[in-house]
Amino acid sequence: MKKFILLVLAGIALFAFIFATSVLWYRFFYSTTTDDGTLGVSSITVRLDDDNNVIDESGLIPLDDNTAINLTPYEFSVQNDSDASTTYNVLLEDGIISDDATYSSKELLSRNQLRYQLSLNGKVIKSGELSTIKNNILDTRNINSGQINNYQLRIYVSEDAQDTDWQNKYYHFNINVQTEEN
């Protein structure tokens, strides 16, 4: 009976050791401390324009690509705070304003009526119709340790939408950044 109790206690001690080692390994290699002192799992820091990830309309008249470059862009940056390179996705997700009286009587513009220009570090890297974006992934990029990627995004009514019903409608999108598992 003493051997059985010793085996059970040894098993519990072994389990506790493995569990504690796993937690410490995770905290040391895979988590980061955020500004408020809490632990996070991401090595990516995202700085959004005006502490907000919402993109409201600024190009609500049909524009061509050359004119749209003069719109005030939505700006955000992605910084890698870890010691290793990381792959991330920039997501452009639909948003709806349900509690604002200004937008309650308006309809959303279709993604077919909207175009976008995405700039990285001051250079346009992508442009096109929003309807061509697959799985809401605007950009996928690998970022090295300590690197900062500065983005500018312009969304506007397409010049081709001039003959469609675009008046008195709005758009509203959210930007999110997700890291990919390696």
Residues 135-182: tens digit of each pLDDT:
989 999 999 888 999 999 888 887 776 666 666 666 777 888 888 765
Number of domains in the chain: 2
| DSSP 8-state symbol, 116 | E
144 shares a domain with 123: yes
* Residues spanned by the domain of 23: 1-30
138 found inside a domain: yes
β-strand partners of 16: none
Domain containing residue 175: CATH number: 2.60.120
Cα separations (Å) of 84 from 43, 51, 53, 91, 143?
A: 9, 26, 26, 22, 9
**Top-ranked range on mean pLDDT: pick from 15-29, 63-77, 83-97, 113-127:** 113-127
Q: Are 115 and 128 in contact (CB under 8 A)?
A: yes
Query: Is 43 in contact with 179 (CB distance < 8 Å)?
Result: yes
Asked whether residue 53 is domain-assigned, the answer is yes
92 and 159 belong to one structural domain: yes
Query: Model pTM?
Result: 0.66
Distance CA 86, CA 161 (A): 38
**Residue 22: inside a domain, yes or no?**
yes
Calculate what percentage of the chain has a pLDDT beyond 70. 68
Q: pLDDT tens for residues 23-51?
A: 777 666 655 544 443 334 446 777 766 65
